Structure 1
Amino acid sequence: MNRRRFIAFSTSALMAIRTGNALPRKSLVPGAFPAEKTPAGHQADIALWQGVPPGGGGPTGSELLSASGGVSNVISPSLRVFSPAHPSGKAVLIAAGGGYKRIEMGKEAWPAARWLTQLGYTAYVLTYRLPAEGWNSGSMVALQDAQRALRIVRSREKYVSVLGFSAGGHLMGMAVTRADFRSYPEQDSLDRVKAYANRAALIYPIITLEKPYTHTSTHKVLVGPYASEKENAEWSVQNFVNSHTPPVFLVQAEDDPVSDPHNSLIMAAACKHDNVPVEMYRYSSGGHGFGMGRPGTPTVNWPARYRTWLSEG
């Protein structure tokens, strides 16, 4: 953990944390966002790369889809586009989590995409390469895909925000805080465009890979159990927050057993330190992987908060 930034998160900043006060009963609908086994309602798929992705390598066979909508064995990274009936002129790039071992489309990305299209947003769901699946660029492949995806979406849309869950929150966090970082050689004219976002929502994200937060799958896959402090720091989102980082929206449950609840505090501290607008909601229960809200817990409130935050951008 970047202790300087964590300590800098003053008492006054802590007082600003939103703890998720109850919303009207109509928002507390059990099962309102069930897991989806298929990406119903999508309009088109866009390949991220023309030909072989940077570095080459990768798995063989076909992309795998689990019964719960988890994607693995990613052969061709892509964007799946969900278009609204009445477009608002704004788009959201979505990255689901899964510890960089799989991508939880059915539990996170597809329900979020369908919800966003109902609000008029065009949703782009990212299928990114998984580092442990034999790609020659190793740990860098997901970030390469995220940066390329941002460039593609920016070429199509005027306003782009990102939404990341868990490891997908780590990925989107790295992408928006490292907009000037070249994770791959230029492939075409599109790569001359800066990969940036207007806003970033990170839901129960993995933010830091620094000690003592080294227990996650994200840490194991990206840097391994014997990583140096330098390697841990190089993959920790909070260390790259700067004055150009877009406004950030954070959500986490205090009983999260996977992403230590300090992750959202660490990210908020980094944002405060560099005067980046940040809005954070921490809920008393909900665990990890609650997607668009786990029925019976206060996490069902966060989509309504997110909707308001998105509309303010």
Structure 2
Amino acid sequence: MLTRRMVLAAIGIMTVLPTKLLANAANTVLPLWPATPPGGGGPNGPVSENAKGAISNIAVPSIETFQPAKPNGVAVLVAAGGGYKRIEMKKEAIPAAKWLTDRGFTVFVLTYRLPGEGWSDGPLAPLQDAQRALRLIRQNASRFQIDPERIGVLGFSAGGHLLGLASTRSAFSSYNAVDMTDSLSARPIFSGLIYPIITLEAPYDHTSSRRILIGKHPSPAESAEWSVQTHVRSQCPPMFLVQAKDDPISDPANTRIMADACKQADIPVELHQLASGGHGFGMGEKDAPTGMWPDYFSTWLAKVDVSAAQQHR
């Protein structure tokens, strides 16, 4: 049963997202959990939105649907970044959703819990949300005209870290099952990670993501446990990686480290290192190096989609 706090927070989601961030106010928002999220805790009140369209104070994690005019049967879970301090909806998630729906993909934008907002399960909270979201999408496949075996992910920055973990640790039980939805697979069939935080290990650990997830002075074991590349195994989905060579936030070594881990595990991987663009460029800028990656991604999706789905059946 929903608590009064969750009802109020859900109202906050509905009032903030459709009016300020979304192109289609008819989009469906699905809370991830039937009651209090695993572990409990968290903030009170409605979602907060800053002047740049980034949100925080996430009391009720959810997925929001963006449906194309002509569905191609493929779903994509999108997670924006923000260093686990906020979620860059307007800059990253919403443009990605529009780009994907224009091409027939059904999109689910993830509003995940932020570990620094008082959740008892700390760094597990966003991973729990990502795994639950993938399962919830599968459960609702017929409702949204998608193939439950054709669900991929697209993550930016800290959202790339989150969906990188969801892709490499899909069999990890981050929470105890709460209903039949949790009997479904949490494995995506493809993973697009855009200027992601991959490693939390030195010397590439000077990020907000590392500080919020595992603190200022984590042990080497903690740093390895919460890095993405340490969990790459043969069952991981194909990976598409993009990063600018002048990224000042996520060291460009992050995507190289991930590409090397995929190659060692015999996972199909495509890495694009852009000449410039910095960090946080979202879907890119026209006539700039960052504006090229969506075309690369489109070509890659056409190659991996069907073959990856068939391998997973």
Cα distance, 1:297 vs structure 2: 2.6
**Residue 174 in structure 1 maps to residue 158 in structure 2:** no
SS class of match (2:116): coil
2:62 and 2:76 map into 1 onto residues whose CA distance is 15
2:77 and 2:170 map into 1 onto residues whose CA distance is 15
SS class of match (1:244): coil
**Residue 65 in structure 1 maps to residue 49 in structure 2:** yes
Point out 4+ residue stretches in structure 1 off by more than 2 angstroms. Answer: 294-297
What is residue 122 of structure 2 aligned with on the other side? 138
**Residue 39 in structure 1 maps to residue 22 in structure 2:** yes
1:197 and 1:253 map into 2 onto residues whose CA distance is 25
1:58 and 1:275 map into 2 onto residues whose CA distance is 40
SS class of match (1:231): helix
Indicate conservation of the 8 Å contact 1:84/1:117, yes or no. yes
Structure 1: gaps (5+ residues) = 1-35
AA aligned opposite 1:70? A
Task: Find the partner of 1:90 among 74, 77, 88.
Answer: 74
AA aligned opposite 1:258? I
What is residue 160 of structure 1 aligned with on the other side? 151
| Residues 288-297 or 170-179, more deviating | 288-297
Task: Find the partner of 2:225 among 201, 219, 234.
Answer: 234
SS class of match (1:170): helix
Cα distance, 1:296 vs structure 2: 5.1
What is residue 16 of structure 2 aligned with on the other side? none
What is residue 115 of structure 1 aligned with on the other side? 99
Indicate conservation of the 8 Å contact 1:37/1:67, yes or no. no
1:121 and 1:77 map into 2 onto residues whose CA distance is 22
Task: Find the partner of 2:293 among 284, 294, 302.
Answer: 302
**Structure-to-structure mapping, 1:138-287, within 5 angstroms:** 138-155=122-139, 156=141, 157-158=146-147, 159-287=150-278
2:267 and 2:151 map into 1 onto residues whose CA distance is 17
Cα distance, 1:41 vs structure 2: 2.1
SS class of match (2:250): coil
Higher share of residues assigned helix = 2
State TM-score, norm by structure 2: 0.87
AA aligned opposite 1:293? G
Structure 2: gaps (5+ residues) = 1-18, 306-313
Deviations 1:90-139 (A, max 9, x none): 11100000000000000000010011111000000000000000111111
2:158 and 2:20 map into 1 onto residues whose CA distance is 20
AA aligned opposite 2:99? W
AA aligned opposite 2:111? T
| Residues 153-162 or 179-188, more deviating | 153-162
1:82 and 1:120 map into 2 onto residues whose CA distance is 10
Indicate conservation of the 8 Å contact 1:59/1:134, yes or no. yes
Deviations 1:256-294 (A, max 9, x none): 000000000000000000000001110110000000003
2:207 and 2:60 map into 1 onto residues whose CA distance is 26
AA aligned opposite 2:282? G
AA aligned opposite 1:225? K
**Residue 106 in structure 1 maps to residue 82 in structure 2:** no
Indicate conservation of the 8 Å contact 1:37/1:68, yes or no. no
AA aligned opposite 1:41? N
2:253 and 2:138 map into 1 onto residues whose CA distance is 32
2:73 and 2:134 map into 1 onto residues whose CA distance is 16
State TM-score, norm by structure 1: 0.87
1:215 and 1:63 map into 2 onto residues whose CA distance is 28
AA aligned opposite 2:24? G
Cα distance, 1:310 vs structure 2: 1.3
**Sequence identity, in percent?**
55
SS class of match (1:266): helix
Q: How many residues align?
A: 278
SS class of match (2:76): strand
**RMSD after superposition:** 1.1
2:65 and 2:52 map into 1 onto residues whose CA distance is 20
2:209 and 2:53 map into 1 onto residues whose CA distance is 20
2:286 and 2:98 map into 1 onto residues whose CA distance is 18
SS class of match (2:115): coil
2:21 and 2:290 map into 1 onto residues whose CA distance is 24
Indicate conservation of the 8 Å contact 1:56/1:136, yes or no. yes
